[in-house]
Amino acid sequence: MPPKNTIFGVMFDEFRNRMPTDEPDLKIGRFLLWVSGYTAINQKSQGDFAYLRTPTLLVADNIIVFSELSDTPIFGFKKFLEELLSMYENISVKQVIEFSSDNSEFSLKLTNDLGQIRIDIKYYSWLHNGALEFEEHIDQSYLPKIINDLKIILTRHY
């Protein structure tokens, strides 16, 4: 842990205090996502068109990216789940699927190449007018856990 008397130490403490303390609702490689409720009180009644607050965290080799501003519609979670199920059931077919927040805070692209899945993660920075991009790989054995996590999110919030 960085020393408290440095600027970095103060910034790190402030950053850490804003992060969720519970386990993430969805983990895809180094990408972590929490669902912290609806974006407004009346959202629940809007079904597929309801928006969920989805803070995210990415811990890469030399960088930590945290976004507490992401909003993701329920229909985005449903579509992602359907596409992941298809990818898992047809693992021998090359496929590309995408998942992103509605406000363009982050995007994920999963590319299946015969059981090896490349994850392309982008975090958009409006402040710096660009994007941070990361790539990692998993195999198909991780897909059932991701699918289960998505089902739990949808059961809780739909």
pLDDT, tens digit, for every residue of 16-74?
667 778 899 999 999 999 999 888 877 778 888 899 999 998 888 778 888 888 899 99
Measured distance CA(131)–CA(134) in Å, rounded = 10
CATH-assigned architecture of domain 7-157: Roll (2.30)
Torsion sign (Cα): 27, 125, 69, 102: negative
Q: Which residues of 39-72 are buried (b: 16+ CB within 10 A; e: fewer)?
A: beeebeeeeeebbbbbbbbbeeeeeebbbeebbb
The predicted model scores a pTM of 0.85
* 91-102: average pLDDT: 93
Domain parsing of the chain, residue ranges: 7-157
